[in-house]
Amino acid sequence: MSDIVLRVEDVWKSFGDLQVLRGISFDVAESEVKVIFGPSGSGKSTLLRCINYLDPPDKGEIYLRGKRLGDPDTDINKIRSRIGFVFQHFNLFAHLKAIDNVAIGPEKVLGLSKEEARERAMRALKHVKMDKWADHYPAQLSGGQQQRVGIARALAMETDVILFDEPTSALDPELIGEVLQTMLDIAKEGTTMVVVTHEMGFARSVADEMIFIDGGVIVERGTPHHFFTSPESERVQQFLHKLDELYGQTRDERRTIAERDQE
């Protein structure tokens, strides 16, 4: 019980008449990598926002290491500082250099001194291999580099868990690899992660459990092995087949072009 970092309990959320989440529950254990996937509009991003109370759920509970979010006596800002968030569109602070993007949280939220915060930020940037770009502004970086800074920003807070909201889906295909590699690295180091993604290669190599969400409910859950060998529901089979069609084919095409170039 004690190694449960995050508990999501029967979370419901609607926007007006639209029921986006209809009773989602799962636990995330220490050092676990949980991959959440499903068709767009199925409520994955909403779920992540419910988890850190950027959008509090209508019903249901979120616990971070046993502490219930939304309790009157828990400071939600303090709790949020222990939940990292990596955004689809990076959301870096445009007026701050990479190093300051990473350092501002430890300094202003965790109360570290300016020097300590910058030191910690530099370590985090080194971790994602962005230390050489520390003095660049977001607009001077590629999408992949920006996302790595986004990951460093979450790492520097030394959180209990990091939530990833489709971290590679806004990137050009040739920039996805560097971000996935960074995520693989930190996953293997034991970072507790909840990742919304369609990158099945990533899921296959590091996910401890995969959760398929459709229509606001969990349709199926299991290990990557389960999903890639014997998914039960038809909906999942269709979806995985579509992903394979889409990404598998482009990968094959890319290979043929590369082979052609070699000849």
Partner 1 sequence: MQGPDIPRLFAVIMERGVPAALQITFFGLGLGLLAGLSLALMRVYGTAPMRTFAELYEKTLRGIPVLVLIYIFTFGVPGLFWFVDPLSRPIVGAYVALGIRSAAYQSQIFRGAILSVGEGQVLAARSLGMTNFQAQVYIVLPQAFKIALPAWSNEYAVVIKDSSFASDVGVFEILKVSLNITASDPRLWLPAMLVVTLIYFIFTYPVTRYFGKKGGGMAQVGREIVWQ
Residue 67 within binding range of partner 1, rule CB under 8 A: no
78 near partner 1 (CB under 8 A):
yes
Q: What is the C-alpha separation between 227 and 221, in angstroms, rounded? A: 8
Site string for partner 1, 104-133 (x = CB under 8 A): xx--xx------------------------
Structural tokens at position 131: 């230390």
Of 45, 52, 191, 197, the one binding partner 1 by CB under 8 A: 52
The residue within the footprint of partner 1, chosen from 14, 19, 31, 91 (CB under 8 A), is 91
47 near partner 1 (CB under 8 A): no
Residue number with CB closer to partner 1 (162 or 183)? 162
What does the alpha-carbon distance between residue 60 and residue 70 come to, in Å, rounded to a whole number? 11
The upper half-sphere exposure of residue 73, i.e. CA atoms within 13 Å in the direction of its Cβ, equals 1
8 sits near partner 1 (criterion: CB under 8 A): no
Decide: is 65 part of the binding site for partner 1 (CB under 8 A).
Answer: no
| Count of residues touching partner 1 (by CB under 8 A) | 28
- What is the distance between the alpha carbons of residues 92 and 161, in angstroms, rounded to a whole number? 19
Stretch that binds partner 1, among 2-10, 78-86, 236-244, 247-255 (CB under 8 A): 78-86
- Shortest CB 150 distance to partner 1, Å: 8
Among residues 13, 80, 118, 127, the one that binds partner 1 under rule CB under 8 A: 80
Sheet of strand 67-68: strand arrangement: 18-29, 4-15, 59-64, 67-68
With beta carbons less than 8 A apart as the criterion, state whether 13 and 57 touch.
yes
Pick 43 or 84: Cβ nearer partner 1: 84
One-letter amino acid at 149 equals V
Instruction: For the beta carbon of residue 27, count every other beta carbon within 10 angstroms.
Output: 16
Rounded to whole angstroms, how far apart are CA atoms 192 and 233? 28
Contact 31, 192 (CB under 8 A): yes
CA pair distance 6, 153, nearest whole angstrom: 20
Instruction: Please give the residues from 143 up to 202 whose contact with partner 1 meets the rule CB under 8 A.
Output: 153, 157
Least distance to partner 1, CB of residue 87, Å = 6
Kindly state whether residue 246 participates in binding partner 1, applying the rule CB under 8 A: no
Near partner 1 by CB under 8 A: residue from 33, 35, 92, 134:
92
Is residue 215 within 8 Å of 22, Cβ to Cβ? yes
Of 52 and 224, the one with the shorter C-beta distance to partner 1 is: 52
The secondary structure of 115-169 as a DSSP string is HHHHHHHHHHHHHTT-GGGTT--GGGS-HHHHHHHHHHHHHHTT-SEEEEESTTT
Q: Which stretches of the chain bind partner 1, using CB under 8 A?
A: 52, 54, 77-85, 87, 89, 91-95, 104-105, 108-109, 137-140, 153, 157
